[in-house]
Amino acid sequence: MSKFRKLSDKLRCADLKLQPDKCNVRKKVAYLGHVISTTEIKSDPRKIRAVEDFPRPKPTKNVKQFLGLASYYRVSSHEIAEELNVSHTCIQKKLKQLGYIKKLNLWVPHQLKEIHLTQRISICDSLLKRNEIVPFLKRLITGEEKWIVYNNVNRRRSWVMQGEPTQMIPKTEIHQKKIMLSV
């Protein structure tokens, strides 16, 4: 019961209240396709079983649907071949017959949702207006140090229909860890 007291203390500090009649304390809970327990978070066995029991796609339409699902989860053609117990060349030939070609994915710094883009534009606009009233941009101190950044240029390839653009994949960890800005 001491863990419950700690939890209630933390909630009280955050000005949150619990209604005991609506609380349900469990050691394990299934949530969003995962089983969350006191010691670990793992995939729901029912979901794993459903994927394992998924029938082999036969008609062209089903193969295209399966490939769409596989590309969403960034599964390679090697992994598809291993899962279906066929050779990798067989998968490649079938993909080419369906009109797919292998293209390099396009790296983008990061993908912004429309609301985030709007927020960034409004923040930049307000900073420029503030600079007109109280100039602060000229007071920025920048260092003359050289930054050495490791850039991994390896990109994954994905299968897309001919004439379609490649997938845009956000490049991970593109920002330096240490940035100093003094005003």
pLDDT tens readout for residues 127-174: 888 888 888 777 765 666 555 555 666 667 777 778 888 777 766 665
> Is the confidence at residue 176, as pLDDT, over 70?
no
* Residue with tokens 């978070």, as numbered in its chain: 41
77 in Cβ contact with 159 (< 8 Å):
yes
User: What pLDDT, on the 0 to 100 scale, is given for residue 182?
Assistant: 41
Report, as an integer, the average pLDDT of 24-29: 79
Q: Could you read off the pLDDT of 144-157 as tens digits, one per residue? A: 655 555 566 666 77
pLDDT 10s digits, 32-58: 777 888 787 777 788 777 766 766 666
pLDDT in the model for residue 152: 60
Alpha carbons within 13 A on the beta-carbon side of 53: 6
Q: What is the mean pLDDT of the chain?
A: 72
